[in-house]
A = this chain, B = another copy of it.
């Protein structure tokens, strides 16, 4: 096949007079008397390349007949300066090959604007639209920026297991995995499912977090991170929940809460900076068409020193806002509550007008593995709250003291024997260590301003939805 150039490259660096070949899909076709204007997109950028086909093209009439919106083509010709506005160059076609036609009568992507809900029902075609195309380029750019960030700091990327026997946080919202035929489950003497006959010989689940295994690896390699799928069998039909989503979880040995905060702040700044650099057109599109605060938010993240306050201080500030009549909240505020989204947004959006890291939460509302502070009632947890979205990162310094951890596991009524290896990490060469977790789709949603999380993952899985 002919050597081709990607359209993104042509749009930025193509020179008039250059002969080249493009391959892609027709977005629009507009015929005038002796010419046809064809916009071709190959997914490399938001903008397509405008192609001018004249009657001189071999088999002109028949070829134009075959070309409709969605058709796939290979077009060779010469670049010329474009008289049109908004484009530097256009391609004067010399030969056109149509690989695959697309019946305008039945092609589900018509020229009109489609709702995101409708587009979800054609998940196999929606990436060919401007918005979803931009979303998935930004998603890719985010993913690359994440690897780049950690790689620059010598973190090892670790693949923690998807299949697990344990419930990391004891939250219980896990999917069960089995090789049994659900129509006829083998049972034991007590009439219960006989797991000894199942693939793993015991109950198996889909992981909710790779953190505990990441801690294992941090105890050998110092700095590691996971970046992979995690699962929640939560029956939440909201614009912010997915049953399957990707999570990023760095874990650092010899690190305390302050180092954790420093890393989280540097991490967000890096990812936003890189995406603005590599996907400038796509980000401009989101700001124009989806949410006109997207660029301001990104720049706020990049340029602000994140505010750092304790939970106790946060409660004081919220109470003060209520008492002074500045603000009313739906949920009452007092020391010990879990902060609600409205509280988090008030702190980040209204009070500080920039990201806020809240630390040292009450032990009762946080997981057993977070390090108990000297006051005996708070733990070295941190949540990064961002304007417009609320919590974007959650993390903690981990409890590295064997005796304290054992007491916390008991207090949480968790089965201590399941954590034998986790406790061993505190028994043999334990170190202060810390880490955080970031929901990747929440980040992409935040970055792009997309209202529904189902539109920032190629094939969303939610209750009753398992298509494609």
Which B residues touch A267, using CB under 8 A?
A: none
What's the minimum C-beta distance from A414 to chain B, rounded to whole angstroms?
Answer: 16
Bound form: Cα–Cα A25–B122 in Å:
53
Q: Are B124 and A421 in contact (CB under 8 A)?
A: yes
Q: Which of A101, A178, A191 has the most CB of B within 10 A?
A: A178
Q: Are A466 and B164 in contact (CB under 8 A)?
A: yes
A140 close to chain B: CB less than 8 A: yes
Q: Are B44 and A222 in contact (CB under 8 A)?
A: yes
Which residue of chain B has the shortest Cβ distance to A133 in the bound complex? B220
Which residue of chain B has the shortest Cβ distance to A6 in the bound complex? B154
Give a binary string over A77-115; 1 marks a CB under 8 Å from any B CB, 0 the rest: 000000000000000000000011111001100000000
**Given that A44-B222, A157-B140 are contacting pairs, would A200 and B463 also be in contact in the complex, using a CB cutoff of 8 Å?**
yes
Q: Are A156 and B179 in contact (CB under 8 A)?
A: no
**Given that A180-B182, A468-B421 are contacting pairs, would A222 and B24 also be in contact in the complex, using a CB cutoff of 8 Å?**
yes
What's the minimum C-beta distance from A156 to chain B, rounded to whole angstroms?
Answer: 4
A426 close to chain B: CB less than 8 A: yes
Pick 19 A–B contacts, CB within 8 A, sort by A.
A23-B254, A43-B156, A100-B400, A102-B427, A102-B428, A107-B428, A123-B421, A124-B216, A124-B425, A139-B159, A143-B157, A144-B157, A147-B147, A161-B244, A162-B229, A163-B231, A163-B244, A176-B180, A216-B458
A116 close to chain B: CB less than 8 A: no
Bound form: Cα–Cα A176–B229 in Å:
17
What's the minimum C-beta distance from A166 to chain B, rounded to whole angstroms?
Answer: 9
**Given that A23-B254, A428-B100, A431-B72 are contacting pairs, would A221 and B156 also be in contact in the complex, using a CB cutoff of 8 Å?**
no
What's the minimum C-beta distance from A438 to chain B, rounded to whole angstroms?
Answer: 15
> Which of chain A's residues 412-461 have a Cβ closer than 8 Å to chain B?
421-422, 424-432, 457-459, 461
Bound form: Cα–Cα A465–B163 in Å:
10
**Given that A178-B182, A180-B176, A193-B183 are contacting pairs, would A159 and B458 also be in contact in the complex, using a CB cutoff of 8 Å?**
yes
Which B residues touch A50, using CB under 8 A?
A: none
**Count of this chain's copies in the oligomeric assembly:** 2
Q: Are B428 and A221 in contact (CB under 8 A)?
A: no
Which B residues touch A201, using CB under 8 A?
A: 463-464, 466
What's the minimum C-beta distance from A325 to chain B, rounded to whole angstroms?
Answer: 44
Give the 3 A-B CB pairs with smallest separation, nearest first: A100-B430, A43-B221, A127-B220
A11 close to chain B: CB less than 8 A: no
Give a binary string over A132-163; 1 marks a CB under 8 Å from any B CB, 0 the rest: 01001101100110010001001011111111
Q: Are B431 and A99 in contact (CB under 8 A)?
A: yes
- Specify which of B23, B161, B253 is in contact with A23 (CB 8 Å cutoff): B253
Which B residues touch A244, using CB under 8 A?
A: 161-163
**Given that A182-B176, A432-B99 are contacting pairs, would A458 and B165 also be in contact in the complex, using a CB cutoff of 8 Å?**
no
